[in-house]
């Protein structure tokens, strides 16, 4: 039996176990997905312990995405982002990947969004870093808007063809933008949005990384403006799909994994 799982603290809220196990069941794989909750300061030690135990793959969540870099051989994108959320133990030193960037790209592609032109990324934290690099690698010009403008500037210095801005610049930035991605927690469990509704327009594709609630105020405002909307569960799904396919070498049963994920939201 292959064993995959998740390390984080806490992990009790995670939707990854039902999503991944639905995939194993659909393909008839002899595999299980389990959760581990090591102490908050022991991410690297947890990777070493998992390798010793023969775990085949791990997802990594808060607070360990940066800590585990010292215990893995990071893939180039993960190294640039500075965070790992997927580890493959297939021989030798564990390899660390960041599938958040791919998750955002595949979520947009699933909704037939053309990945060209200009993207506005709101937030310069962990998710913002991953999405900014992912969209830049697809060839988009990336404008990063953050509450603390200096953090947006610092990230923009690392990302190709990017610029940093404060949140007050959003109306101007969005006027001719093609893609908008909210990578902040604004709107989570509350009816608020980081983006003025009157800055949205029908030529935008809007992805909100927040998935609780599934239809955030930002997405409601975007739909009202005629924009293409992509809820955060799609990004969550596709980062998991990317990990699933790396670990198993199989095409993930995306529909089955999506159904199970949404059943648990």
Rounded average pLDDT per 10-residue block, the chain, 265 residues:
96 94 98 95 92 95 93 96 95 91 97 97 96 98 98 98 98 98 94 98 98 96 98 97 97 98 95
33, 55, 64, 65: the active-site residue? 65
Residues 140 and 136: their CA atoms lie apart, in Å, by 5
Model pLDDT, residue 92: 79
Predicted TM-score (pTM) of the model is 0.95
Q: Which CATH class is domain 101-230?
A: alpha beta
Chain-centre distance for alpha carbon 204 = 20
Model pLDDT, residue 21: 97
**Which residue is it, tokens 């529909």?**
255
Residue 210, CB half-sphere, CA atoms under 13 Å: how many?
22
Model pLDDT, residue 150: 98
Question: Buried b vs exposed e over 77-107: b needs ≥16 C-beta within 10 Å?
Answer: bbebbbbbbbbbbeeeebbbbbbbbbbbbbb
Task: Report whether 155 contacts 124 (CB < 8 A).
Answer: yes
Model pLDDT, residue 132: 98
- Report the binding-site residues for shikimate: 14-16, 61, 85, 100, 211, 239
Torsion angles phi and psi, residue 165, rounded to 5:
-150, 165
Does CATH number 3.20.20.70 belong to domain 2-98+235-263? Answer: no
- Report the binding-site residues: 14-16, 61, 85, 100, 123-127, 146-151, 209, 211, 232, 239
Helices (H) and strands (E) in the chain, counts: 10, 12
Model pLDDT, residue 189: 84
**Beta-strand pair 57-60/2-7:** parallel
- Report the binding-site residues for NADP(+): 123-127, 146-151, 209, 232
List where CATH 3.40.50.10860 sits in the chain.
Answer: 2-98+235-263
* CA angle, residues 150, 153, 155, in degrees to nearest 5: 110
List where CATH 3.40.50.720 sits in the chain.
Answer: 101-230
52 is catalytic: no
DSSP-H helix ranges across 88-208: 100-110, 126-137, 149-158, 170-174
Burial class (CB in 10 A: 0-12, 13-18, 19+), 28: exposed
> How many other CB atoms are found less than 10 A from the CB of residue 228?
17
């Amino acid at each position: 039996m292959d064993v995959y799982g998740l390390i984080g603290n806490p992990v009790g809220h995670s939707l990854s176990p039902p999503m991944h196990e639905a995939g194993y069941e659909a393909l008839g794989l002899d595999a299980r997905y389990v959760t581990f909750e090591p102490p908050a300061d022991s991410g690297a030690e947890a990777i070493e312990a998992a390798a010793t135990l023969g775990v085949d793959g791990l997802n990594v969540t808060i607070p360990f995405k940066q800590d585990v870099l010292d215990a893995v051989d990071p893939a180039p994108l993960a190294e640039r982002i500075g965070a790992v959320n997927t580890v493959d133990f297939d021989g030798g030193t564990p390899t660390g990947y960041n599938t958040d960037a791919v998750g955002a790209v595949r979520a947009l592609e699933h909704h037939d969004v053309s990945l060209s032109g200009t993207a506005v990324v709101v937030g310069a934290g962990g998710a913002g870093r991953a999405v900014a690099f992912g969209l830049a690698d697809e060839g988009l010009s990336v404008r990063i808007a953050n509450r603390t403008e200096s953090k947006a500037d610092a990230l923009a210095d690392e990302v190709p063809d990017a610029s940093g801005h404060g949140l007050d610049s959003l109306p101007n930035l969005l006027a001719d933008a093609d893609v908008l991605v909210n990578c902040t927690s604004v709107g989570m469990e509350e009816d608020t949005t980081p983006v003025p509704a009157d800055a949205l327009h029908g030529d935008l594709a809007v992805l909100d990384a927040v998935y609780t609630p599934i239809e955030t105020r930002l997405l409601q405002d975007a739909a009202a403006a005629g924009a293409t909307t992509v809820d955060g569960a799609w990004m969550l799904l596709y980062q998991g799909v990317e990990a699933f396919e790396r670990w198993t070498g199989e095409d993930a049963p995306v529909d089955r994994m999506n159904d199970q994920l949404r059943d648990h939201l």
